[in-house]
Amino acid sequence: MAILGRHNSTVTAVQHDLMRALWLKNCSRATESWHSLGNAIRQAQELGLHLQCEVPQPANGDLGEMLARLWYDEYKRRLWVNLFIWDSHMALVLGRPRTIHANDCTIKTPTDCDIPEDPFTTVPTSIGATNVPSSYTPRLFMYEISQKIHKMRSLAADKRYISDYNVVKVLHEQVTSLLDRLPPVFRPGNPDLSWDSRCPNFARQRQQISNAASSFLMALHRPHAAIHKFSREAGIRAALNTLESQQRLFEMVSSHHHKFFSLSFYTIDAAMFLTATMIKHTPTDQDLLQNIYHSLRQAINRLLVIKERSPIAKSGVQVLAQCFQKISSESSKNITDSINLNCRHGVSEVPEGDTIHGSQNSIDSSVSDFTNLHSTIQIDRSTHSDTFFDAIDFNASFWMNHMTQDIDLDFGAPIHDSWDSLH
């Protein structure tokens, strides 16, 4: 142990455990990854990386040495930010407690700039509007989303039947505001593409930003989707945005990236939310139904491509196949009942010039689409074997439990339709 340097924590040891956590997570071994992350955090706390300290001036007053110390302080703050982001992310994904308490941290937010190759001659300053955009901006956005996760947990906004639902709406608006304040080059919607030829990684970072925001919003609204129309609509939109950003990211990366955790997990998570919604609250809007079907079909196709490299995808695609089978048996009845109810109350969602019979044909087509999706997936019966999933955490049971929680949201409580639709 003395040779490994674990009796006395070091920055290198923190980096080692964080990298180990990354490797384990991409191998779908989430519990081991969480433990390794915990080791990294505890060592970092022992080193005081969560506390902001004054940077000491060199005794000889050397300017180059002082600049190097400032950049090293910047680097340590960025290392802590990575740990904070990971801790929040793993708590959200696994439903585990947070290791870090935000109130214990006093570090200043890192500077929005790239670390120079020669730190002895450059002063740490934020990038101005006329300079090359900073590739660290997306990481700072992830940091802000992680802080929202802490706030959501602290206010119990991720729990069912929250006493003050307005808390959920405020958090939603805050995340939307974060997206609006992004530099144009990193905005997921209508971005400035002028830098992409010089900085090709920006295109991928935009999708990662979109995915981070959408997955947070989906987690925020998921517990409230059965009771509040606002959350149901916001959750569907966030899930669709997640799947769209996942598709764009999938098209940008090479096959050796297919084992990456984020490329499978968020696709399955969003698809689970949409299938649960289709089973319990099937939309009557045909354009929305077709959008959902299209996104789910793309999701299945992605998972089928990457499942040989990703155990998460292999288990998730099997469960989604069973979900589609459930949808194909219930969607037609749910949609028809909803349209009939609207007509009895004088509220018709059938476009002008169409008939209920014409809409029913479209409904039948949508249901047929889900049936066809299910039939294209070969169910691997070995997924019911415990030994098949011994090496991974995100097995079929994990996804089925996740799906059950979504489906069981509705306990007969009335839907609150008084909230304004998302704009």
Structure confidence by residue, pLDDT tens digits, 122-174: 888 887 655 789 999 999 999 999 999 999 999 999 888 888 999 999 999 99
pLDDT of residue 9: 85
- 3-class SS string, 215-261: HHHHHHHHHHCCCEHHHHHHHHHHHHHHHHHHHHHHHHCCHHHCCCH
Buried b (16+ CB within 10 A) or exposed e, 74-103: bebbbbbbbbbbbbbbbbbbeeeebbbebe
Give the range among 52-56, 137-141, 414-418 with minimum mean pLDDT: 414-418
At 32, which helix (H) or strand (E)?
helix 30-47
**DSSP-based three-state secondary structure for 416:** strand
pLDDT of residue 422: 37
Contact 234, 170 (CB under 8 A): no
pLDDT tens readout for residues 166-223:
999 999 999 999 999 999 999 998 999 999 999 999 999 999 999 999 999 999 999 9
pLDDT of residue 410: 41
Contact 225, 165 (CB under 8 A): no
Whole-angstrom distance, CA of residue 387 vs CA of residue 402: 21
Contact 188, 209 (CB under 8 A): yes
Give Cβ neighbours of residue 10 (< 8 Å, ≥ 6 apart).
Answer: 43, 47
Beta-bridged to residue 228, according to DSSP, are 416
pLDDT at 243 over 50: yes
- pLDDT tier at 121, thresholds 50, 70, 90: confident
Q: How far is CA 354 from the centre of its chain?
A: 39
Mean pLDDT comparison of 59-68, 72-81, 285-294, 336-345, highest-scoring range: 72-81
pLDDT of residue 63: 87
Domain ranges of the chain: 1-109
pLDDT tens readout for residues 322-367:
777 777 665 545 544 544 544 454 444 434 333 333 444 444 454 5
Give Cβ neighbours of residue 337 (< 8 Å, ≥ 6 apart).
Answer: none
Could you tell me which of 148, 202, 155 has the C-alpha nearest to residue 172? 148
Give the range among 207-221, 230-244, 364-378 with minimum mean pLDDT: 364-378
> Backbone dihedral region of 422: left (phi > 0), alpha (psi from -120 to 50 degrees) or beta?
beta
pLDDT of residue 96: 85
Buried b (16+ CB within 10 A) or exposed e, 252-271: eeeeebbbbbbbbbbbbbbb
Provide DSSP, 357-385. HHHHHHHHHHHHHHHHHHHHS---GGGGS
| pTM for this predicted structure | 0.81
Higher pLDDT, 410 or 216: 216
Which 8-state DSSP code applies to residue 103?
G
Higher pLDDT, 95 or 252: 252
Mean pLDDT comparison of 60-69, 122-131, 363-372, highest-scoring range: 60-69
